[in-house]
Amino acid sequence: MRILITGGGGFLGTRLAQALAARDPAVKITLLDVAFPNAPDPRFTALTGDLASPEVLARALPADTDSVFPLAAVVSGGAEADFDLDYHVNLDGTRELLEACRRLAKPPKVVYASSVAAFGGKLPDVLDDSTTPTPQTSYGTQKVIGEYLVADFTRKGMIDGRSLRLPTIVVRPGKPNLAASSFASSIIREPLAGVAVECPVPDTTGVWILSPKRVVEAFMHAHDLPSSAWPSSRVVNLPGITLTVREMLDAMGRVAGAETPKLVSFVPDARIQAIVKTWPVRFRTDRAIEMGFKADTDFEDVVRQHQS
């Protein structure tokens, strides 16, 4: 099997590649990104270049490619700050990637990373699979367009696509990124390392959360499901758990000690708050659960995962 992961230099792309290789050591994996902050695993082919370039994609997608995981994106906060760049990567890059998939020897499986940023505006208290996407950010808008492109290319028989709307992924390792949700990892990651950190939103702010372990499992599960498992819709809201910032800090305190949450101070950031307040925090994900996707059991386990 030959697989392409765009955004392969990021932590999710790296973890997904490692999990796929652990399951099948014979798999051939190409990682494509604009840069690789860390040296790529020598088992994989690493390519750098413009993710919307047909020439770059032609190198990344040999004719016998079986599967593609489009994970690359200019994330929410960065997308709002640079309109031209985020449309180039998030929309043009997705369209060019799907066009490149059309030219492969057979329609590949495409597992597209979407986001709960697809929702916004006036929403019900609890969202479900029938809730209409109404994005309130450029990032969310581009993700919804990507979902429709994946569905339409699938309808035409050009790919076998499936899209996953990801909750906020916590705890992300490494340095904070430009995502408006970056605080949700920082308020756990930094205190666990003994470092003080500022939180830009109130402690009453709710977050819909999934751990890195569970999201990698979700990508692999979505890939392995047959096309017949996606009869009515090619997109699914992944299950997660809803927590306020205060509940997250309290859970960290129970795992790492009562002094740890005291390293978090609250410094309001109006720009971040304006983005985050548009995101939904409660979902009923009956369809995803019926399809075999899983949420984390509790946030204390998520904290322990990061410590391990």
Strand partners, 165: 114, 237
* Per-residue pLDDT, 278: 79
Superfamily for 182-208+241-281+296-307?
UDP-galactose 4-epimerase, domain 1 (3.90.25.10)
Structure tokens at 248: 């997250």
CB-facing half-sphere around the CA of 275: CA atoms within 13 A = 25
DSSP per residue over 233-298, as a string? -SEEEPP-EEEEHHHHHHHHHHHH-TTGGGGEEE---HHHHHHHTTS---B--HHHHHTT----S-
- The answer to whether residue 139 is catalytic is yes
Contacts of 217 (CB under 8 A, 6+ apart): 19, 294
**47 in helix, strand or coil?**
strand
Q: Which tens digits make up the pLDDT trace of 149-163? A: 999 999 999 999 999
- Domain residue spans in the chain? 2-166+210-237, 182-208+241-281+296-307
* Per-residue pLDDT, 78: 66
Token pair 């990373």 is found at 113
* Per-residue pLDDT, 76: 58
* Per-residue pLDDT, 178: 67
> Which member of 87, 112, 139, 148 is catalytic?
139
* Per-residue pLDDT, 2: 98
Along the 308 residues of the chain, how does pLDDT read in single tens digits?
999 999 999 999 999 999 999 999 999 999 999 999 888 899 999 999 999 999 999 999 999 999 999 998 887 566 677 889 989 999 999 999 999 999 999 999 999 999 998 998 888 999 999 999 999 889 999 999 999 999 999 999 999 999 999 999 999 988 777 677 889 999 999 999 999 999 999 999 999 999 999 999 999 999 999 999 998 899 999 999 999 999 999 999 999 999 999 999 999 999 889 888 878 899 999 999 999 999 999 999 999 999 98
* Per-residue pLDDT, 39: 85
Task: Please give the CATH architecture assigned to the domain spanning 2-166+210-237.
Answer: 3-Layer(aba) Sandwich (3.40)
Selection from 306, 308, 37, 15 nearest residue 189 by Cα: 306
* Per-residue pLDDT, 179: 74
